A and B are shown apart, each in its own frame.
Chain A
């Protein structure tokens, strides 16, 4: 934009000539200044760009899946191409979008600011983790584009080790490398939260977003290495014919499933816990109230992380495991519902007698609450030993985990994107468009995935590219919903980018929120604060904020 013709009498409403001179965005626009940055905020932007690209790619694969399933006879594509399509969708969305999404973008950007630090503890390791993500994505995309991968995102043995002729090794290398990106992010968060908090910022004054990321980081650090070594074993088996999972050499293919789910079930909590942190921040801001039961919400994050490590075998109830261990895993699975319910009830209680406003981030919170509730409760169907036998490997499972991963994690991601967009870029987005697309996301999502509960209950198996004719109506409904959802995702891409061009200044605290990130300028300076903060009170203390502070 032309900055030379600004009139001398600038009103606060007119666009500023550029980002403030000391903001992190003004620190340089050369490619080098971005690719070699050690500023956690700039690395967060790098992640935002790369993760968005992967999300678009994963969504394209999802669209191809729904296009194929419009017809029952699978005439749109071959079974082989369909296998590769849903594998690509799963691998990209799980490893390269959902797992890094909120921690790597918003955690990276916000945790140092929320705790009053100048940066994460290890800025160079932070940059390294982004490069590992990009290199891992490069390997995996190369594998997907040159021949593809047909194992499903779960890489189950012995199919992946003995029979699959596709690019298993390349994809495995990519996921292995991206795993260390996740580990290093978690390591950075743990150390930063322990050692870098501002004076006066005790553990129980931390924003719940930080608590949620602390719990997430524990899982990243303790869970991810197990899938890393498991992937190494699969590679050793394919390349050198080691026998870890090969029954002909005394190996046990089921051991793979144990090792895989030891990480991949907690990985679900890597996706959902940061989202829960976002919900806590947004719901208190737009209810103008302290989060009800703060310490319970904080501790339930840790409880979810801890119990989440003890439930993995509920993915394996039909593998013929011992009945007593199945009962124990089922009981532990039910136990995870308790901290999840604590959170949901406390958020609902936060709303009670709150002064609620319906801005876009808050609409995403309501989307989250409804969808997470359905996703969580249908999880109990699958944790139950009896009903699980009927529902295993049906579309009921597909619908259930999309209600958690999309209905939970992506609602939190989009809510965070809108809530902190004014902070990250110093601009406001068009609120009406925001609300419209949030509602469309909700409608499109339910239309896509609710029919899949019914399909699964009626017995439609997942991963097949053909299905009986009587399932077509529900499948067409689902594909129609996916179309709505796709458009609803496109809207924010356009109006958020447009808001960067239009530059309507947001102000330092557009939502009238508490929290240290709202006490610094938008976008924040490179050093995060002009004067390093000292904390003297509880978080979410909206009683001190007068009504004039509410600018919305």
Chain B
């Protein structure tokens, strides 16, 4: 195939950086690999959520009425407020990445912690939204108002007669499945952000090497964008 000679095309200063792993030629190659890896991971995530989005599209097409009835039971005001909270966390994340690129150590930590705080607020609100729907399903007696799909589901709670009441279960299956999977991604993201904030605090990042901050930023923005799709699909399809 070829003659083998020693390869050395990299600039000297990036070939001996402390953060450079042994199998990369230079920091730029390492950074590009990490970035492409994250994008491929996000592509994988899109297909992962894609199964649920496909199910949503098919069932909404089949049962538009049941979806509208189900959507009435999601609190649009809380949903809108929570969407703003999450967009705010994307802003602080973007500012953290910018702070890393400009080498401001305290700003990185501050903005990452703000991101975690906003993410925590979102999850807290989500907890109360879930609890409201789950509470009537517990216990042995009456399950009036239970909106969790399954044996205890109360079709009267969505004011639906006959088949539409059963079909509304599909809406709530998708609601819990999609928002649950989204919340799970946030729960995974928060300790990662905290770890990277700790690394930033110890001064591990410089303008020429702050790949982990960029990567967690990509991840967080992806999780936010999923919500940007979930919010209208679940909260705003009341048909009015």
Interface-side segment among A150-158, A190-198, A425-433: A190-198
* B44 engages A187 (CB within 8 Å): yes
* B5 engages A531 (CB within 8 Å): yes
B147 CB-CB contact with A under 8 Å? no
B138 CB-CB contact with A under 8 Å? no
CA distance A116 to B32 in the complex (A): 18
* Chain A residues with CB under 8 A of B33: 121-122, 191-192, 195-196
* Chain A residues with CB under 8 A of B21: 123
* Chain A residues with CB under 8 A of B149: 240-243, 249
* B173 engages A236 (CB within 8 Å): yes
* Chain B residues with CB under 8 A of A223: 47
* A229 engages B4 (CB within 8 Å): no
* A226 engages B4 (CB within 8 Å): no
Name the CB-closest residue of A to B174: A244
* B36 engages A519 (CB within 8 Å): no
Interface residues of B in 105-139 (CB under 8 A from A): none
Interface residues of A in 139-198 (CB under 8 A from B): 183, 187-188, 190-192, 194-196, 198
B50 CB-CB contact with A under 8 Å? yes
A45 CB-CB contact with B under 8 Å? no
Q: Mark A230-243, 1 if CB is under 8 A from B, else 0.
A: 10110010001111
| Chain B: minimal CB distance from A400 (Å) | 27
The contact of A233 among B3, B6, B44, B55, by CB within 8 Å, is B55
Q: Mark A241-267, 1 if CB is under 8 A from B, else 0.
A: 111100011111001000100000000
* B170 engages A241 (CB within 8 Å): no
The contact of B6 among A119, A532, A535, by CB within 8 Å, is A532
| Chain A: minimal CB distance from B173 (Å) | 4
* Chain B residues with CB under 8 A of A195: 29, 32-33, 36
| Chain B: minimal CB distance from A492 (Å) | 29
Q: Mark A207-244, 1 if CB is under 8 A from B, else 0.
A: 00000000000000111111011101100100011111
CA distance A216 to B199 in the complex (A): 36
Most chain A CB atoms below 10 A, which of B23, B45, B166? B23
Name the CB-closest residue of A to B45: A225
B22 CB-CB contact with A under 8 Å? yes
CA distance A540 to B149 in the complex (A): 60
Most chain B CB atoms below 10 A, which of A125, A199, A248, A537? A199
B78 CB-CB contact with A under 8 Å? no
Interface-side segment among B58-66, B218-226, B232-240: B58-66
Q: Mark B17-44, 1 if CB is under 8 A from A, else 0.
A: 0000111100001001100110011011
* B23 engages A123 (CB within 8 Å): yes
* B177 engages A122 (CB within 8 Å): no
Interface size on A, residues (CB 8 A): 62
A22 CB-CB contact with B under 8 Å? no
| Chain A: minimal CB distance from B27 (Å) | 13
B169 CB-CB contact with A under 8 Å? yes
* B4 engages A194 (CB within 8 Å): no
| Chain B: minimal CB distance from A147 (Å) | 24
Interface residues of A in 351-366 (CB under 8 A from B): none
* Chain A residues with CB under 8 A of B7: 116, 198-199, 532-534
* A244 engages B32 (CB within 8 Å): no
A543 CB-CB contact with B under 8 Å? no
| Chain B: minimal CB distance from A529 (Å) | 7
The contact of A255 among B49, B58, B173, by CB within 8 Å, is B58
* Chain B residues with CB under 8 A of A229: 48-52
* A191 engages B167 (CB within 8 Å): no
Report if A531-B55 is in contact (Cβ < 8 Å); known contacts: A244-B170, A250-B167.
Answer: no
* Chain B residues with CB under 8 A of A198: 7
The contact of A249 among B50, B148, B166, B181, by CB within 8 Å, is B166
CA distance A516 to B167 in the complex (A): 60
| Chain B: minimal CB distance from A134 (Å) | 21
Provide 19 A-B residue pairs closer than 8 Å at the C-beta atoms, listed in order of the A residue.
A118-B22, A121-B37, A125-B37, A191-B36, A221-B40, A236-B173, A241-B150, A242-B149, A250-B62, A250-B66, A250-B169, A251-B173, A252-B58, A252-B62, A531-B5, A533-B5, A534-B3, A537-B1, A539-B1
9 additional contacts (CB under 8 A) given A192-B33, A243-B173, A250-B170? A221-B44, A236-B177, A242-B169, A242-B173, A243-B166, A244-B170, A244-B177, A251-B170, A537-B2
Residues of B within 8 A of A (CB): 1-7, 9, 21-24, 29, 32-33, 36-37, 40-41, 43-45, 47-52, 54-55, 58-59, 62-63, 66, 148-151, 163, 166-167, 169-170, 173, 176-177, 181
Residues of A within 8 A of B (CB): 116-123, 125, 183, 187-188, 190-192, 194-196, 198-200, 205, 221-226, 228-230, 232-233, 236, 240-244, 248-252, 255, 259, 514-516, 519, 529, 531-541
